[in-house]
């Protein structure tokens, strides 16, 4: 049976499995806390123990002040609880509270999903994981190439393995290099994180995610994070592509459907030969609204929207939502500059 840690002042809580440190358990549950080294050196994961027992405290180099000692300060990355506990800790609730980081990573895996798309996995050093919020992006720096912004497709609950969905584009030096030359163990410098495309933690409204093609990447991170946080509101994913094969994580979405009662998924494919994507998105929006109306207890005006795709693609979708009187504050669009 797992123990429970409750945080003050937020009153949020998370389960702690046997053998886990408090930091590991918090991250697994999608709780955003300050941390960096994960090995007891930086002191960033400091918290105050208010109640409960620590069973095991792993040796660390960090030195607490006399005052901190007298106030029961602990390092969350070094402590495994022996009972339910209560801690006072600062929770990160917006992107501005996360420091910019620069981390030298190694290519861990390059997985070809189809002839046009790879999943690039980077691994950070164990003692320098990337802290970020779901939905954010970073800049990838590869020697000899112009730096490139990329959305992080993985969940912040694992800042050591970072996933990116890379589409191979004609005459695009960066993606061509990743497809044809980048190898396991090559070095890639990562800077960031950036961006404010993030889940509205304070909202209990249903969430509608609309992704275009590999714009699915940050949406995947947001959904994973939302599921980890055990959010109970309905989650709807509409994934629009130009060819069926571009639903490259179809099985993954179906696994969410099987496992999560509040998750709904509709894959959508634009008519063959579509050239004006923005116009097609505009044409498809009423179908999305109608599907949502027929399968949800809420209206689109009572729901939050998270849209991601190449710049400009969702301009027409935005116009549609505004015409339907969806409040602007409930529409979130990723404003990442691609290059």
40 part of the interface to ligand FES, by CB under 6 A: yes
Measured from the CB atom, is 43 or 195 closer to ligand FES? 43
The distance of closest approach from Cβ of residue 89 to ligand FES in the complex, given in angstroms and rounded to an integer, is: 12
Among 62, 236, 239, 292, binds ligand FES (CB under 6 A): 62
Among 7, 26, 44, 281, binds ligand FES (CB under 6 A): 44
159 part of the interface to ligand FES, by CB under 6 A: no
330 part of the interface to ligand FES, by CB under 6 A: no
Stretch that binds ligand FES, among 36-44, 66-74, 263-271, 298-306 (CB under 6 A): 36-44
214 part of the interface to ligand FES, by CB under 6 A: no
Among 30, 43, 192, 206, binds ligand FES (CB under 6 A): 43
3-class DSSP state of 110: strand
The distance of closest approach from Cβ of residue 177 to ligand FES in the complex, given in angstroms and rounded to an integer, is: 34
Element (H, E) at 281: helix 277-295
The distance of closest approach from Cβ of residue 76 to ligand FES in the complex, given in angstroms and rounded to an integer, is: 6
Measured from the CB atom, is 41 or 123 closer to ligand FES? 41
Q: What count of Cα atoms within 13 Å lies in the side-chain half-sphere of residue 55?
A: 14
Measured from the CB atom, is 26 or 134 closer to ligand FES? 26
42 part of the interface to ligand FES, by CB under 6 A: yes
216 part of the interface to ligand FES, by CB under 6 A: no
Burial label for 54, CB within 10 Å (0-12, 13-18, 19+), is middle
Report DSSP letters for 213-274, one per residue: GGGHHHHHHHHHHHHHTT--S-EEEEEEESSGGG-TTHHHHHHHHHH-TTEEEEEEEPPTT-
Contact 125/103 with Cβ under 8 angstroms?
Answer: yes
Report DSSP letters for 63-89, one per residue: ---HHHHHTTEEETTTEEESS-EEEE-
45 part of the interface to ligand FES, by CB under 6 A: yes
Measured from the CB atom, is 37 or 118 closer to ligand FES? 37
**Residues 63-82 within binding reach of ligand FES (CB under 6 A):** 75, 77
The angle that helices 277-295 and 315-323 make with each other, rounded to 10 degrees, is 40
Contact 221/141 with Cβ under 8 angstroms?
Answer: no
Question: Cα–Cα distance between 155 and 218 in angstroms, integer?
Answer: 9
Stretch that binds ligand FES, among 30-38, 79-87, 226-234, 274-282 (CB under 6 A): 30-38
Residues binding ligand FES (CB under 6 A): 35-38, 40-45, 62, 75, 77
């Amino acid at each position: 049976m797992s123990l429970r840690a409750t945080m003050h002042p937020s009153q949020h809580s998370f389960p702690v499995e046997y053998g886990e440190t408090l930091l590991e358990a918090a991250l697994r549950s999608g709780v955003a806390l300050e941390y960096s080294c994960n090995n007891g050196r930086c002191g960033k994961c400091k918290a105050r123990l208010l109640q409960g027992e620590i069973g095991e405290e792993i040796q660390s180099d960090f030195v607490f002040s006399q005052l901190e000692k007298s106030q029961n300060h602990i390092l969350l990355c070094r402590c495994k609880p022996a009972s339910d506990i209560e801690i006072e800790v600062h929770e990160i609730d917006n992107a501005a509270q996360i420091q910019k980081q620069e981390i030298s990573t190694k290519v861990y895996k390059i997985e070809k999903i189809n002839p046009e798309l790879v999943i690039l996995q980077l691994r950070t050093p164990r003692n320098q994981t990337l802290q970020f919020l779901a939905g954010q992006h970073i800049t990838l720096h590869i020697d000899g190439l112009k730096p490139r912004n990329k959305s992080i497709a993985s969940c912040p609950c694992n800042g050591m393995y970072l996933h990116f969905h890379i589409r191979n584009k004609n005459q695009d030096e960066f993606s061509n290099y990743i497809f044809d030359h980048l190898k396991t163990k090559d070095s890639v410098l990562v800077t960031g994180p950036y961006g404010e495309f993030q889940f509205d933690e304070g909202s209990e409204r249903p969430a509608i995610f609309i992704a275009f093609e590999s714009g699915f990447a940050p949406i995947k991170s947001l959904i994973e994070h939302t599921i980890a946080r055990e959010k109970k509101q309905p989650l709807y994913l509409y994934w629009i592509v130009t060819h069926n094969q571009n639903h490259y994580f179809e099985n993954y979405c179906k696994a969410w459907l099987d496992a999560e009662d509040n998750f709904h998924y509709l894959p959508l494919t634009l008519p063959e030969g579509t050239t004006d994507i923005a116009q097609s998105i505009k044409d498809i929006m009423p179908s999305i609204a109608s599907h949502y109306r027929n399968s949800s207890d809420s209206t689109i005006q009572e729901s939050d929207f998270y849209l991601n795709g190449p710049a400009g693609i969702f301009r027409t979708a935005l116009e549609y939502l505004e015409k339907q009187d969806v409040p602007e504050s409930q529409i979130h669009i990723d404003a990442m500059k691609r290059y």
